[in-house]
Amino acid sequence: MRDELLEKISANGNLPALGSSVSRVVQLASSDDEAVRNLAHFIMSDVALTQKILRISNAACFRSHASSSPVTTISKAIFLLGFDTVKTCALGMLLVDRMPGSRAAGVRGELLHALSASMFGRELARRSQHRDAEEAAIAALFGNIGRLLVAAHDHTLYAEINALARQGMAPAKAARQVIGSGFETLAEIVMTAWDMPEMIVKAQAPLPAGALRPARNRQEWIQQVAAFSNAAAGMLAQADDVDAAGAALVALVARFGAALNLDQAKLGQMLVTVTEETNALAGQLQLAPVVPAASLPKPVQKDEAAALWRQLEGEDGALLGLPAEFLLQTADGEDPTQAGGRHASGKPHNARELLFAGVQDVTEMMASGRCKANDLIMLVLETIYRGMGFRFATVCLKDIKSNQFRARISLGENNAARQAGFAFSANPSRDLFHLALANEADLLISDAADAKIRDLIPAWHRALLPDARSFIVLPLVVQKKPLGLFYADRILPATEGVPPDETAMIKTLKGQVVAALNPR
């Protein structure tokens, strides 16, 4: 029976794609300087996942930070909530969205169990002194992957196992009787095929019976956390039965209390936090919530951003042959600021609000004292990309060895291929990019087909981005030395222009990056 079940699982075409996505996210390590950027890229490549992460980032139970402004970018979500929290939430959302048969009641119940277990694991990881403690939350998330796979691929077998369990048989024994294998074996086979880290796979092994002692090493601690988290998630599933929940609470403390430094009061507080956060996640994923927290056992004003960009000298802005109408300047009148809708070019109607939120986010990041230049650049790039509705956006930096400006970070449609080709010589040339750098001039090209600008677009840009009809160029110049530029484009003309307040915020965003890059 187990082999037949494995054949069903192997035959499902969705699982390899799910496994590839899960493995990619799991293997991002918070200690890696590239991890934040890679996690942000992964999330933003999936529109639905992006929206869910942003909504959960704004849920009251997740926003324990001091910021009162809404979370509008993935970069800010990672900065404020923490890399590990966003990573765990993203994994849970991937599991729910891409698991086969997710509409079936049994599958949805197991998915809710997995989310709840991951929240327990995350709470214990927060209190731990172990290195890379967040792996415990990931191990907890996949603690019931064997049950989940059975529910998703053979509801009859799943129902038989549950029926035996309701009659008093241990779930592990029931699984062996029905499918000839424990859930752990199924989990190990699938997780190994998904190329999951060995630490996570080993954490699913059963623990000895009885009260547990403190772990002797990190692997054993992760195993204990995964087991506790899944037992606690199971308790939440029956929390509407007061007597059963009370007995389960006592049993949890008796088994895991000494090992994980838990007592009734600590566990009671954890239950409230986990329930609120699980319900918030479940709401975004259209899963039925666990019981309300009330039914469980109870055991700075931010400074305004300074304008860091100097005003361009001269009224006409005619700098070294650049037509004045292509300088980033104000448009006549103001655009609508309603929350929904876009201009024909793709620019959101509420661009002002999105840019203003970005200015606040960047100011907050810089004031935190833990701001890294790469994280700041990523946040500014994402703010411009999302706030102005561009299809592709990148940051170019000068490569001294090759004497080129090369794209280093990019977002949007086909970003990897476009980033690879986005490079041009640093030698002076009379094209739009070099003129912008030489004059420190922020440019808005509203229509690249215009006769006045056509000859200023270099051949490499026409070859790489032949369909770019409107784009923006923001040079990064420190102490008269050009370091690089921001670039972003759309495939339609931008006839709506840029109002004064949006212009000021774009310049401020860029200016904050210039200030961060200034060695003084």
* Residue whose entry in the numeric block shows the structure tokens 């933003």: 44
Instruction: Enumerate the H helices of 58-134 as residue ranges.
Output: 74-81, 83-98, 105-127
Domain end marker among 273, 290, 307: 290
Q: What is the dihedral of CA 504, 406, 363, 58, to 10 degrees?
A: 100
Contacts of 176 (CB under 8 A, 6+ apart): 182
Q: Is the same domain home to 490 and 350?
A: yes
Residue 480 backbone dihedrals phi, psi, to 5 degrees: 70, 5
Please report whether residue 302 resides in a domain: no
373 with 225, same domain: the answer is no
130: tokens are 């172990």
Residue 406 main-chain phi, psi, to 5 deg? -125, 140
DSSP assignment of 211-252: SPPPPSSHHHHHHHHHHHHHHHHHHHHTTTSHHHHHHHHHHH
The H or E element containing residue 58 is none
Co-location of 164 and 271 in the same domain: yes
CATH number of residue 236's parent domain? 1.10.3210.10
Last residue of a domain, one of 265, 290, 315: 290
Residue 15 lies in a domain: no
Tokens of 13: 């075409």
DSSP character string of 300-316: --PPPPP--SPPPSSSS
Buried b or exposed e, range 218-255, using 16+ CB within 10 angstroms: bebbbbbbbbbbbbbbbbbbebeeeeebeebbeebbeb
Q: Are 44 and 411 in contact (CB under 8 A)?
A: yes
Give yes or no: residues 281 and 329 share one domain.
no
Residue 320 has a pLDDT of 44
Residue 311 lies in a domain: no
Q: How many domains does the chain have?
A: 2
CB 497 within 8 A of CB 446: yes
227 and 340 in one domain? no
Residue by residue, pLDDT tens for the chain (520 residues) are 667 777 777 776 667 788 888 888 988 876 666 788 889 989 988 888 898 899 888 887 776 555 567 888 999 888 888 888 899 899 999 988 888 776 778 888 899 999 999 999 999 988 888 877 888 999 999 999 989 988 888 888 889 988 988 888 888 888 888 888 888 888 888 888 888 888 999 999 888 888 899 999 999 999 999 999 998 998 877 766 666 667 777 888 888 999 999 888 888 888 888 888 888 888 888 887 765 555 554 442 333 322 222 232 333 334 445 555 556 654 444 333 335 688 888 899 888 888 888 888 887 777 777 778 888 899 999 999 999 999 999 999 999 999 999 999 999 989 999 999 999 999 989 899 999 999 999 998 889 988 888 889 999 999 999 999 999 999 999 988 999 999 999 999 998 888 888 888 898 899 888 888 876 5
Q: Rounded to the nearest 5°, which phi and psi values hold at 101? A: 70, 25
Yes or no: say if 271 and 296 are a contact pair by the CB < 8 Å rule: yes
Residue 59 belongs to some domain of the structure: no
CATH number at residue 489: 3.30.450.40
Q: Is residue 37 part of a domain?
A: no
Exposure pattern of 332-361 as b/e (b: 16+ CB <10 Å)? eeebeeeeeeebebebbbbbbbbbbbbbbb
What is the distance between the alpha carbons of residues 184 and 172, in angstroms, rounded to a whole number?
A: 9
pLDDT of residue 463: 95
Residues 281 and 337 in one domain: no
Considering the domain architecture, whether residues 130 and 279 belong to the same structural domain is answered as yes
* φ, ψ dihedrals at 203, nearest 5°: -65, -15
- What is the C-alpha separation between 386 and 488, in angstroms, rounded? 11
- The verdict on 235 and 182 lying in the same domain is yes
| Domain match, 336 and 269 both | no
CA 471 – CA 392 distance, rounded (Å): 9
Give the C-alpha separation, 409 to 33, whole Å. 13
CA–CA distance, 225 with 219 (Å, rounded to integer): 10
Whether residue 454 lies inside any domain: the answer is yes
Tell me whether residue 254 is in a domain. yes
- Answer yes or no: is 463 within a domain: yes
CA distance 175 to 181: 6
Pick from 487, 464, 494: which is nearest to 380 by CA?
487
pLDDT on residue 244: 65
81/257 Cα distance (integer angstroms) = 28
Which pLDDT value is given to residue 19? 85
Supply the range of the domain harboring residue 107: 2-10+101-290
Give the amino acid at 205.
A
Task: Please tell me whether residues 407 and 265 are part of one structural domain.
Answer: no
Please tell me the predicted confidence (pLDDT) of residue 454.
87
Q: Are residues 337 and 227 in the same domain?
A: no
pLDDT of residue 319: 40
Beta strands in 366-460 (DSSP E): 392-399, 404-412, 423-425, 443-445
Contacts of 22-25 with C-beta under 8 Å, sequence gap 24+, read: 22/91, 22/94, 22/95, 22/194, 22/196, 23/194, 23/195, 23/196, 25/87, 25/90, 25/91, 25/94
Domain boundary among 239, 271, 290: 290
Show the CA angle centred on residue 191, arms to residues 189 and 195, nearest 5°.
115
pLDDT at site 217: 92
Shared domain for 226 and 347, answered yes or no, is: no
